[in-house]
Amino acid sequence: MWVGTPNRFSLPPELAFGWRSHHFTRSHKQMEHNNFSLLYTELSLNPDLPTLAGRCMLLTEILLDCNAHPQTQAVCRCLGAYLEEVKTGLTESMRDFQIVEFEEDAEPPRQKAWLLEDTETKCDYCRAVNHVLLVSHFDRDMLPYLTGLLHEVAHSMAGDLITPAQPRMTIHLPARH
Structural domain count of the chain? 1
Question: Average pLDDT of 149-166?
Answer: 88
Residue 10 forms part of a structural domain: no
Q: Is the pLDDT of residue 177 over 60?
A: yes
Residue range 91-115, pLDDT digits in tens:
887 665 555 555 666 665 554 444 4
pTM: 0.62
Tell me the C-alpha distance between 89 and 94, whole Å.
8
As a residue count, the chain comes to 177
Do the beta carbons of residue 160 and residue 122 sit within 8 Å? Answer: yes
Model confidence at 149: pLDDT above 90? yes
The CA distances from residue 163 to 51, 113, 147, 159, 160, in Å, are 11, 22, 25, 7, 7
Q: What is the DSSP string of 119-136?
A: HHHHHHHHHHHHHHHHH-
Where do the H-state alpha helices sit in the chain? 26-38, 41-44, 49-65, 69-94, 117-135, 143-161
133: in domain: yes
| Average pLDDT of every residue of the chain | 73
Q: Report whether 58 contacts 50 (CB < 8 A).
A: no
Residue 106 in domain: no
- Sequence-distant (6+) residues with CB within 8 A of 113 are 97, 98, 99
Evaluate whether residue 12 is within a structural domain: no
Is 7 part of a structural domain of the chain?
Answer: no
CATH at 56: 1.20.120
Structural domain range at position 81: 25-94+114-161
| Alpha-carbon distances, residue 18 vs 65, 114, 121 (angstroms) | 23, 38, 28
Is the model more confident about 165 or about 54? 54
Q: Residue 48, Cβ neighbours under 10 Å: how many?
A: 11
Q: Are 79 and 59 in contact (CB under 8 A)?
A: yes
Q: Does residue 109 lie in a domain region?
A: no
Is there a domain that residue 43 lies in?
Answer: yes
Is residue 165 over pLDDT 70?
no
